[in-house]
Amino acid sequence: MTGGERSSRKVPRGRLAAAADRLAAFTAARARPATGFVHQPEPRSIGSFARGRQLVAGNFLFAGFLVEGKDLSIWDLAMPDPSFEEVLHGCTWLDDLAAVGDRPARERAQAWVFDWVVRFGAGKGPGWTPDLTGRRLIRMINHAPFLLSGRDKAQAEAFFRVLGGQTLFLARRWRSASPGLPRFEALTGLVYASLALTGMERHAGPAAEALAAECAVQVDAGGGIPTRNPEELLEVFTLLIWAVEAIEGAGRTPLPAHLAAISRIAPTLRALRHADGGLARFHGGGRGLPGRLDAALAASGTRAGPPQGLAMGFGRLHAGRSTLIIDAAAPPAGAASANAHASTLAFELTSGRWPLIVSCGSGAMFGPDWHRAGRATPSHSTLGLEGYSSSRLGPATRRGAQMRTWLEEIPSEVWMRPESDPARHALFGHDGYLATHGLTHIRELELAQDGNGLTGTDSLGAMTSSDKARLEAVLEAGGYRGIPYQIRFHLHPDVDAALDMGGWAVSMVLKSGEIWVFRFDAPVELSLEPSVYLEKGRLRPRATQQIVLSGRLLDPIAQIGWTLAKAHDTPDANRDPVPPPPDR
């Protein structure tokens, strides 16, 4: 990602595209070079001081791999995986070293960048793809004073020659980047560099027009993107803001389609943001780098609040200091489905600064097995049939759970709740199990007015005569032993949970001291089982727990009610030492 590692593995590029990139890189590296800056944008990217200190100490943690090499150049490390090498060539580690900013950090940044110039600047190596080149160019330009401090004329000339070569490469090859975030990275890098470097100004206009056209195609009317990945949406949003700042800093005017995309995205990101400031972790996305969302929203100048209704297919309930975000749409389809999750009707719940119910997250950083496991329905806080996911997410066939308009298919007294607050009440359903079992899942959620309680009802049943016939056939084939299902509630690793009331409830203690209690009212079995929390920046998954309600469907419909409520004698969320960040 623009602020560090990608949250998901890229789709491999074709051999012809890779060959064309190599030829374009070789040619661009030998073209007439840039000689300096016409205009240098202010540094925008945010680095991590802690990660910068790790780099100075010789600990390289990228793409889920830790490589130690205290006295080695970053380019002499043993490359454990192509994804590790891609992160290195994106040069986002420059943000982290700049965040430290002392002499040892500067010396390493300079040594590694100028080593890259010598080894790869002539158009060689795996870093010459449009997205990696755009990502790298932005960092090299952002941190140019940091990198050129104390360097001689010959080194400065080599540095600018490489910047110019990469700009020409992007001007020729940005179209080969995959639509979406990779192409936004390539075009933003091209806009950045063409406005900053001498002799490259002719590329600025076409690059800005191409970026605006991409905004019109890739950012829909509701401010969403095809992958439905909240963290990826933040990265696109950040790139668009950086491009606007570069264009305006050069005395030019951003195109209307570019500005309109920023205005559409900002309210959507506010809807996907929990009370603790982190993003909902769905479809391969993480919480986002600390401070990135606040900085981007503030820089956008867009004050519109979260939209009414769904935002990029997600619903948001909020009351008091609690937020709930539910995936209420089908998984991404087509090219955008490579990292899609079977998470329809899964939700996450945060109380103040403390996450309570979560998704396991993306396992892409931990290898293909974890990547596949993280995408499955059991890795999300929702109902699932044992052995099935609500959507088929295999490499060959993918079928998204189709959303129904329940107003016509469910009795109106169930759907119509005119007295309820739409900010606190949600009713959704999906038919992802219709083809296999004739079953539909309906989930109703209601957040208490003070945010201290959540009432949920999960219904699983055959809705029509044809659905009932399909269900009957499945029950008969299984010897009428019933269809096993589970409702899972994955807990954040910082939550301390234990069975209570003789196994009829679960007590959960948050770091704030709050105590939440889970109860249920259906003939199902309650258990507290191991789970994992998958996040970037760690060597292995974090151990945590999950609440599981297990049952067997024997009749055409089953309804399971449950509640999550904060105990009245626990510290109030308003006493958190640090309040959650306000919407900006």
pLDDT in tens, 256-294: 999 999 999 999 999 999 999 999 999 999 999 888 899
Give the pLDDT of residue 30: 67
Closest CA to 368 of 395, 387, 334: 395
Q: What is the mean pLDDT of residues 562-582?
A: 60
In the predicted model, is pLDDT for residue 407 greater than 60?
A: no
- Which amino acid is it at 531? S
Give 393's pLDDT tier (boundaries 50, 70, 90).
Answer: low
Give the pLDDT of residue 420: 52
Longest Cα pair distance anywhere in the chain, in angstroms?
82
Closest CA to 134 of 55, 49, 210: 210
What is the C-alpha separation between 288 and 291, in angstroms, rounded? 8
In the predicted model, is pLDDT for residue 573 greater than 80?
A: no
Closest CA to 317 of 464, 158, 455, 122: 455
Give the pLDDT of residue 579: 38
Task: Specify which residues 518 forms β-bridges with.
Answer: 506, 564
Exposed, middle or buried, 169 (CB in 10 Å: 0-12/13-18/19+)?
buried
In the predicted model, is pLDDT for residue 506 greater than 80?
A: yes
Mean of the per-residue pLDDT values of the chain: 87
pTM score above 0.95: no
pLDDT in tens, 58-112: 999 998 889 998 889 999 999 999 999 999 999 999 999 999 999 999 999 999 9
What is the C-alpha separation between 85 and 216, in angstroms, rounded? 32
In the predicted model, is pLDDT for residue 473 greater than 90?
A: yes
pLDDT in tens, 321-335: 999 999 999 899 888
What is the C-alpha separation between 168 and 149, in angstroms, rounded? 26
Quick one: CA dihedral 100, 104, 110, 115, positive or negative?
A: negative
What is the C-alpha separation between 167 and 160, in angstroms, rounded? 11
Give the pLDDT of residue 6: 47
pLDDT in tens, 147-159: 999 999 999 999 9
Report helix, strand or coil for 381: coil
Sole residue written with tokens 């769904």 = 310
Return the DSSP state at 452. S
| Alpha-carbon distance values, 167 to 170, 273, 422 (Å) | 5, 35, 49
**Packing angle, helices 292-300 and 256-271, rounded to 10:** 140
In the predicted model, is pLDDT for residue 41 greater than 80?
A: no
Q: What is the mean pLDDT of residues 477-501?
A: 95
Q: What is the mean pLDDT of residues 542-546?
A: 97
Give the pLDDT of residue 570: 55
Give the pLDDT of residue 501: 84
What is the C-alpha separation between 248 and 291, in angstroms, rounded? 23
Q: State in Å, rounded, how far the first CA of the chain is from the last one.
A: 23
Query: Could you tell me if residue 501 is left (phi over 0), alpha (psi between -120 and 50 degrees) or otherwise beta?
Result: left
In the predicted model, is pLDDT for residue 26 greater than 70?
A: no
* 417, 447 contact by CB (below 8 A): no
Quick one: CA dihedral 168, 171, 177, 180, positive or negative?
A: positive
Closest CA to 429 of 450, 454, 458, 400: 458
Return the DSSP state at 202. G
Six-digit token string for 268: 């959507």
